[in-house]
Amino acid sequence: MKKRTIVCRCEDLSEEEVITAIDEGYTDIEELRKRLRIGMGPCQGRVCIQLVMKILEKKTGKKVTMLPTARPPTVPVSLGTLAEDEHET
C-alpha cells in the first residue's frame, strides 16, 4: 500500500492530488489554488504554497515566480476577536 503524502493539512490535500491536477492542465499556481483550495485554509498557505510550488516546478520544468493572489485577511483572525464588542468595558 502506497503512503499518502499530505501537502496541505488545512484542506487535507495530498501530493498525488496536486500531481493529478497538474496532469489535467492546471499548470499555474493561481489555477492550482482555485482548483485545489491551496492557501485558503486557516494557515492561509504558509505551509502548503511552497510545497505546491516545488511540485509544480518539478512537474513542468519551469521556475514558479508568481505567488497566488493574497486576499485579506492574510493573517488568521480568531472568532473571539471578530465577536468582540468594541463598546464593552
* 10-32 residue pLDDT tens: 899 999 999 999 999 999 888 99
Bridge-partner residues for 13, per DSSP? 8
89 falls within a domain:
no
The CATH number that applies at residue 19 is 1.10.10.1100
Q: What is the pLDDT of residue 78?
A: 83
CB neighbours (10 Å) of residue 65?
7
Q: 36 pLDDT exceeds 90?
A: yes
What average pLDDT does the chain have? 84
Q: For 5-63, give the DSSP string.
A: PEEETTTTEEHHHHHHHHHTT--SHHHHHHHH-TT-STTTTTTHHHHHHHHHHHHH-S-
1 falls within a domain:
no
Q: 71 pLDDT exceeds 90?
A: no
Which domain, by its residues, includes 45?
A: 6-83
Q: Are 57 and 63 in contact (CB under 8 A)?
A: yes
* 43-54 residue pLDDT tens: 888 888 889 999
- Count up the domains in the chain and report the number: 1
34 falls within a domain:
yes
- CA-to-CA distance for 34 and 21, rounded, in angstroms? 11
The answer to pTM > 0.75 is no
88 falls within a domain:
no
